[in-house]
Structure 1
Amino acid sequence: MSTALDARTLLSEHFPNVVATVLDSNPGMQQDLAERITEEGIKFVVTCARTPGVDLAPSRIVDEGWHALLLHSAPYAELCARFGSMVHHYPGYDPTYYDHEILDRTRASIRAAGFDVDEELWAAPGDERLVAVAAQCQHAPSCAIRPMPKPEWP
């Protein structure tokens, strides 16, 4: 039995709404796949919030879950605050870009944060045999995720 953290429970009652957003953006996608994409997006955001200063980036498929989560701004902000820092989105506009190193580092960071990684959702652009998603941005070092540290008030 896995002792990994459960991403669904971190978003609680908002999880079905984010899954519905993934489904709305991707007509014909199966419910279980949208749930997996949402879970992986949550894992990514929580990991980024916990590790400010570390350049991380999602795969294109996982980015779809992150995009859906961002649209639910109140639970998104609460999730970020609960685990550390606000995680801002800096889109990468080259959908063919792929940086194996940053994605390896991101998956390792997700594992270090206590989650299992759904490897199938971390495919390179053009190798998305599981699903083609609506998200067209691919994050690179120039647009890697760098959460802002918590502000220090005097």
Structure 2
Amino acid sequence: MSVQHDTTAPAETGARHLIGEREFEAVTAAVRTNNPGMSDDVAARIVAEALAFVDACAKPHSRGLRPSRTVDEGWHALILHTRVYAELCGRLGRFVHHVPEPPNPGRYDAGELERTQLAIATAGYRPDPLLWLPPTDTTIPVAASCQHSDGPEGTCTGDPDGDGSGGPN
């Protein structure tokens, strides 16, 4: 099974309900602040997709899922809102650790992003294809400057210490 990419991205992935409206707006504002000139709509789509990503990562047997560079921008903004993120992970039943690495397009594996999108779809969301482009694509430029690839723990880790290829988090 493969993920179909089309140019008609959904306005929302449906994951906004995972946090309150006030919290969603605060996280979205952080994405906009880090990315001057980004529209409110794009920032909201990135945050909604990051929420769907975290939900998929929290599911059993989901280790090693990886965000695109664009979705990672939303994940970073969520993590910066520590109470919101901790409460979200608590409701999802598993804390999802972030294990970043320096960017290296040579490590990019399209299959990893496809597998992650399939996990998001399995979790009940419709992945936004324009947010899952390769790290070299600049259709939606973002400030996020880390990459995630296969390592001892992968990117989504249920390890209580949060240790991965980048060390303790």
Tell me the alpha carbon deviations over residues 49-103 of structure 1, each in whole angstroms, 9 at most, x when there is no partner.
Answer: 1235521000000000000000111111111111121011111212423121211
Which residue is equivalent to 1:113? 123
Asked whether the equivalents of residues 13 and 128 of structure 2 are also in contact (C-alpha less than 8 Å), the reply is no
**Matches of 1:102 and 1:88 in 2, distance apart?**
18
* Structure 1 stretch displaced more, 52-61 or 31-40: 52-61
5+ residue gaps, structure 1: 150-154
For the aligned residues, what is the CA RMSD? 1.9
1:128 pairs with 130, 138, 142, which one? 138
2:99 counterpart of 1:85: no
SS in 2 for 1:9: helix
Matched, 1:31 2:12: no
Alignment partner of 1:145 is 2:151: no
Q: Match of 1:141, SS?
A: coil
Task: Write the mapping of 1:1-20 to structure 2, written as runs, cut at 5 A.
Answer: 6-13=14-21, 14-20=23-29
- Report runs of 4+ in structure 1 exceeding 3 Å deviation: none
Residues 52 and 147 in structure 1, CA contact (< 8 A), matched pair in contact too? no
Contact 1:48 1:145 survives alignment (8 Å) = yes
* Aligned residues between the structures: 146
- Taking structure 1 as the reference length, the TM-score comes to 0.88
Amino acid at match of 1:10: L
Alpha-carbon separation, structure 2, partners of 1:29 and 1:126: 18
Structure 2 residue identity aligned to 1:39 = A
Unaligned stretches of 5+ residues in structure 2: 1-9, 161-169
Which amino acid in the other structure matches residue 26 of structure 1? N
Find the aligned partners of 2:37 and 2:93 in 1 and give their Cα distance. Answer: 35
Aligned to 1:43: 52
State the alpha-carbon separation in 1 of the partners of residues 61 and 90 from structure 2. Answer: 12
